[in-house]
Amino acid sequence: METAECGAGPPAAASRRVHCQIVELSDLDYDLPRAAIAQAPPETREAARLLVIDRAGGALDDRRVSDLPQLLRAGDCLVVNDSRVIPARVLAEDARGRAVELLFVDGETSGRWRALVRPGSRCRPGAQLSIGAARLDVLGVTDDGARVVERRDGTIEDLLASHGLPPLPPYIARHAKPAPEDWERYQTVYARSPGSVAAPTAGLHFSDALLARLRERGVEVHAVTLHVGPATFRPLTTPSVETHTLPPERATVSAATAAAVTAARREGRRVVAVGTTVTRTLESAAGEDGHVAPLDGHATATIRPGHHFRAVDALLTNFHLPRSSLLVLVSAFAGRELILGAYRHAVAAGYRFYSYGDATLIQ
């Protein structure tokens, strides 16, 4: 297996590199009991457990999300993703009354959207679907297997407003029939801009009270927007991470956030990304010198071992699926062996995994 250099560390250590391995997909597997996959959120947002991972020394520390005001430093620049999850999942029927599940991804027009469907055999071009009194026509299939569907008697936005459900991931058993609590808990408290088809899950741990405590501690809180699309959570299919490219995702970095992050980097203060979506957004907007520019378009960075991190110094993120682009990103940030070792510790210690699970703080 080859090795490559990965960027790491705060601005003062910009020239320092850590060794990361260029991995095949099989190197991104780990054993996880099904019982470790969280099926419901913790009782309160900040009650989740937090595994603190020290990149420099490799130490692991079992804490709680509520400890963040003690773990972060005065002057840290905490950056969150304020994208709002849309009720993108819709249950429909085909012409024979058989169940069809759609996940609406993005719109071409107000009445024509792309959607992921299950089962695909019931959504061939020309098929007609019904959701209550609404009717959808399947117009075609895109290269990634999504269906182009059109509503002729109204808009898709109105359909989602009346029939849409929170788009819980399929490893949550009730994903097709979410519970009432999911409408609130599968959404961050600071969500503003609608557009995501999956939650930026690291942000689910923050309550208004926790954010207030962080600000009292002297932590700056700023926001970017990245609308999470299906590419974020799909498993990788290429044999090697080196041949995988993550499709662009709609993203915005305001002038104020860009200036705040750039100032933190210049002054030697840490930039702490809340989630892989924030990491991708900031790294897409950062120049070689660490200067972050405003962005109004798409995040395009594919972060893999060998990436030199130019904007992010610490990362708060949940535990990620095997063979996923998100696990590749955190492995690039901290090293594959350290991350997989931390995951083995988390399994043995009873941490809860994935969207409604516990978190890690990698610093």
pLDDT for the residue numbered 152: 87
pLDDT by 10s per residue, the chain, length 363: 333 334 444 443 333 334 445 577 788 899 999 999 999 999 999 999 999 999 999 999 999 999 999 999 999 999 999 999 999 999 999 999 999 999 999 999 999 999 999 999 999 999 999 999 999 999 999 988 999 999 989 999 999 999 999 999 999 999 889 999 999 999 999 999 999 999 999 999 999 999 999 999 999 999 999 999 987 777 777 777 887 888 899 999 999 999 999 999 999 999 999 999 999 999 999 999 999 999 999 999 999 988 999 999 999 999 999 989 999 999 999 999 999 999 999 999 999 999 999 999 999
Strand duo 3-7 + 17-21: pairing = antiparallel
pLDDT for the residue numbered 172: 96
What are the structural domain ranges in the chain? 3-85+183-362, 89-163
Q: Looking at this protein, which amino acid is placed at residue 277? A: T
Strand duo 220-226 + 77-81: pairing = parallel
pLDDT for the residue numbered 22: 53
Q: How far apart are CA 151 and CA 269, in angstroms?
A: 50
> Hey, how many other C-beta atoms are within 10 angstroms of the C-beta on 330?
26
Q: How many residues does the chain have?
A: 363
Q: How far apart are CA 188 and CA 80, in angstroms?
A: 10
User: Identical fold at 3-85+183-362 and 89-163?
Assistant: no
Domain 89-163 of CATH type 1.10.10.10: no
* Helix, strand, or coil (residue 330): helix
Give the CA distances from residue 314 to residues 10, 271, 273, 359, in Å, rounded to whole numbers and listed in that order. 9, 6, 6, 13
- 226 phi and psi angles, rounded to 5 deg: -135, 120
Q: How far apart are CA 151 and CA 130, in angstroms?
A: 10
DSSP secondary structure string for all residues of 180-228: TTHHHHTS-TT--EEEESS--GGGGG--HHHHHHHHHHT-EEEEEEE--
Q: Work out the angle between the directed axes of helices 325-334 and 336-348 (0-180°, nearest 10).
A: 110
Closest C-alpha to 89, from 79, 103, 78, 75 = 103
Closest C-alpha to 23, from 271, 226, 352, 305 = 305
Give me the sign of the Cα torsion angle 158, 144, 195, 64. Answer: positive
Q: How far apart are CA 320 and CA 330, in angstroms?
A: 9
Four-way CATH pick for 3-85+183-362: 3.20.20.70, 3.30.465.10, 3.40.1780.10, 3.40.640.10: 3.40.1780.10
* Helix, strand, or coil (residue 125): coil
- 18 phi and psi angles, rounded to 5 deg: -115, 150
pLDDT for the residue numbered 154: 95
Q: How far apart are CA 132 and CA 91, in angstroms?
A: 10
* Helix, strand, or coil (residue 323): coil
CB contact at 8 A, 283 and 307: yes
Q: In degrees, to the nearest 5, what angle opens at C-alpha 355 toward C-alphas 349 and 361?
A: 55
Long-range contacts of 32-35 (CB under 8 A, 24+ apart): 32/322, 32/343, 32/347, 32/353, 33/347
